[in-house]
Chains A and B, each alone.
Chain A
Amino acid sequence: MKTVPKHVLVAGGGVAGMEAAGALAEMGYRVTLVEKGDDPGGHLLQWHALFPDRRPADEVRSYLRKRAGHHNINIITRTTVEKVRHHPGGVRVTLSGGTEEEADAVIVATGFDLFDAHRKEEYGYGIYDNVITSVDLEAMFNRGRLEKADGTVPSRIGLIHCVGSRDEKVNNNHCSKVCCVTAVKQAIEVRQMLPSCEVFCFYMDMRMYGPYYEELYRESQEVHNVNFIRGKVSEASVNINNRLVIKVEDTLAGRPLKMELDIMVLMVGMEMAESGAKLAEASGFRQGINSFLESGDHHYGNNLSGIKGVFYAGTCTAPMNITDTISHARAAVAETVRYLKA
Chain B
Amino acid sequence: MKPEGKKRIWAEYQKEIPDDHFFYVRSCIRQTFFAGSEQYFLKILREDLGKDVYEDPRHTTCTGIGYHGDVVPFETIQTVVARHFALATEAGYRHIAISCVTSFGIYSEILETWKHFPETLERTREDLYKATGRTFEVPETISHTSDIIYKFREEIARKAKYNLVDAATGKPLKVVEHIGCHYSKMFPKYGVGGAEFPHVLVGMVESWGGDIIDYPERRHCCGFGFRQYLVQANRGYSLFASRKKFESMEPYRPDMIIANCPGCTMFMDRWQYTIKEIDGITYGAEGHGIPVLTYEEVAGLVLGYDPWELGLQYHNVQSLPLLRKMGIKADPERRFLDRDGSRLPEPANLIDG
Give me the interface of A with B, judged by CB distance under 8 Å.
118, 121-122, 124-129, 235, 237-240, 242, 245
Which chain B residues numbered 1 to 55 have a C-beta less than 8 Å away from chain A? 1-2, 4-6, 8-9
* Bound CA span A125–B9, Å: 11
B341: chain A residues within 8 A (beta carbon)? none
The residue from A127, A235, A237, A242 contacting B9, defined by CB atoms under 8 A apart? A127
Complex contact B251–A129 (CB within 8 A):
no
A127: chain B residues within 8 A (beta carbon)? 1-2, 5-6, 9, 197
Complex contact A129–B197 (CB within 8 A):
no
Give me the interface of B with A, judged by CB distance under 8 Å.
1-2, 4-6, 8-9, 194-197, 214-219, 248, 251-252
Q: A237-B219, A240-B251, A240-B252 are in contact. Are A128 and B196 (CB under 8 A)?
A: no
Q: A127-B9, A238-B216, A240-B251 are in contact. Are A121 and B1 (CB under 8 A)?
A: no
Minimal Cβ-Cβ distance residue in B for A239: B216
Q: Total contacts A to B, CB within 8 angstroms?
A: 47
A237: chain B residues within 8 A (beta carbon)? 214-219
30 pairs, CB–CB < 8 Å, chain A vs chain B: A118-B9, A121-B9, A121-B194, A121-B195, A121-B196, A122-B196, A124-B196, A125-B5, A126-B2, A126-B4, A126-B8, A127-B1, A127-B2, A127-B197, A128-B1, A128-B5, A129-B1, A129-B2, A235-B196, A235-B219, A237-B214, A237-B217, A237-B218, A238-B1, A238-B216, A239-B248, A240-B215, A240-B251, A240-B252, A245-B216
| Given A235-B196, A239-B248, A239-B251, 15 new contacts (CB under 8 A) | A118-B5, A121-B195, A121-B196, A121-B197, A126-B2, A127-B1, A127-B6, A128-B2, A128-B5, A235-B219, A237-B214, A237-B215, A237-B217, A237-B219, A240-B215
CB distance from B21 to the nearest CB of A (A): 33
Complex contact B8–A118 (CB within 8 A):
yes
Minimal Cβ-Cβ distance residue in A for B195: A121
B218: chain A residues within 8 A (beta carbon)? 237
A125: chain B residues within 8 A (beta carbon)? 5
* Bound CA span A237–B245, Å: 13
* Bound CA span A239–B247, Å: 12
CB distance from B247 to the nearest CB of A (A): 11
CB distance from A13 to the nearest CB of B (A): 31
* Bound CA span A237–B244, Å: 15
B217: chain A residues within 8 A (beta carbon)? 237
* Bound CA span A92–B261, Å: 61
Query: Residue among B4, B8, B9, B196 with the most chain A CB within 10 A?
Result: B196
* Bound CA span A128–B9, Å: 13
A238: chain B residues within 8 A (beta carbon)? 1, 214, 216
CB distance from A234 to the nearest CB of B (A): 9
CB distance from A117 to the nearest CB of B (A): 11
